[in-house]
Amino acid sequence: MNERGDIGNNDNRGNNARDGNNGRRGFIAAAATLTTLATLTLAPGIRLIQIAAARPEEEAASAAVRWGLLIDVTRCQTGCEDCVAACGKENGLGEVARPRTDAQWIRKIDLKEHATGRALSLPMMCQHCAHPPCVDVCPTGASFKRADGIVLVDRHICIGCRYCMMACPYKARSFVHEPHTDQNPEVPRGQGCVEGCTLCVHRIDRGETPACVAACAAAGHAAMLFGDLNDPASAISQRIREVRTTVARADLALDPGVRYEGL
Partner 1 sequence: MAALSAPAAPPIETRPRTGVFIGLLAAGGLFLLLALAAFLHFEHSGHIATGMDNQIVWGIPHVFAVFLVVAASGVLNVASIGSVFGKPDYKARAPLSGLLALTMMAGGLVVLAADLGRPDRLLVAVTHFNFKSIFALNMLFYSGFFAIVAAYLVTLMNRRLNPYARALGFLAFFWRLALTTATGSIFGFLIARSAYGSALMAPMFIIYSFAYGLAAFLIVQSAMYAWNGLASNARVLARMKNLLAVFVGAALYFTVVMHLTNLYFAKQIAYERFLLLDGGVYTTAFWFGQIGLGGVLPLALLLIPGAGQTRVVIASALVTLGGLAQMFVTIVGGQAFPLDLFPGHAVSSRFQDGIVNAYAPVPGEFALGFGGFAFAFLITVIAVRVLPFLPRDAADASALKTTD
Chain residues in the site for partner 1 (CB under 8 A): 96, 98-101, 103-104, 107-115, 120, 124, 133, 135-142, 157-163, 165-171, 173-179, 190-194, 248-249, 251-252, 263
Shortest separation between residue 28's beta carbon and partner 1, angstroms: 50
What's the CA gap between 131 and 66, in Å, rounded?
A: 13
Dmax over CA atoms of the chain, in Å, equals 70
Q: Which is nearer to partner 1, 161 or 219 (CB)?
A: 161
Find the shortest distance in angstroms from Cβ 225 to partner 1.
20
* DSSP state string for 32-90: HHHHHHHT-EEETTEES---TTPPPTTSPP-TT--EEEEEETTTSPTT--HHHHHHHHH
Task: Report in angstroms how near the CB of residue 131 gets to partner 1 at its nearest.
Answer: 10
Closer residue to partner 1, CB minimum distance, 142 or 235: 142
User: How many whole angstroms separate alpha carbon 115 and alpha carbon 239?
Assistant: 28
In the complex with partner 1, the residue whose CB is nearer, 44 or 192, is 192
Residue 4, C-beta contacts closer than 8 angstroms, at least 6 positions apart: 53, 55, 62, 65
Q: How many CB atoms lie within 10 A of CB 192?
A: 14
Name the amino acid, one letter, at 216: C
Q: How far is the CB of 62 from partner 1 (least distance, A)?
A: 23
Query: CB within 8 A of 217, min separation 6: which ones?
Result: 42, 43, 44, 45, 46, 224
At its nearest, how many Å lie between partner 1 and the CB of residue 223?
A: 17
Distances in Å between the Cα of 87 and the Cα atoms of 3, 57, 139, 191 are 27, 23, 28, 19
Q: Which is nearer to partner 1, 96 or 222 (CB)?
A: 96
DSSP 8-state secondary structure symbol assigned to residue 28: H
Shorter beta-carbon distance to partner 1: residue 3 or 113: 113
Nearer to partner 1, 9 or 163 (CB): 163
Q: Cβ of residue 142: shortest distance to partner 1, in angstroms?
A: 8
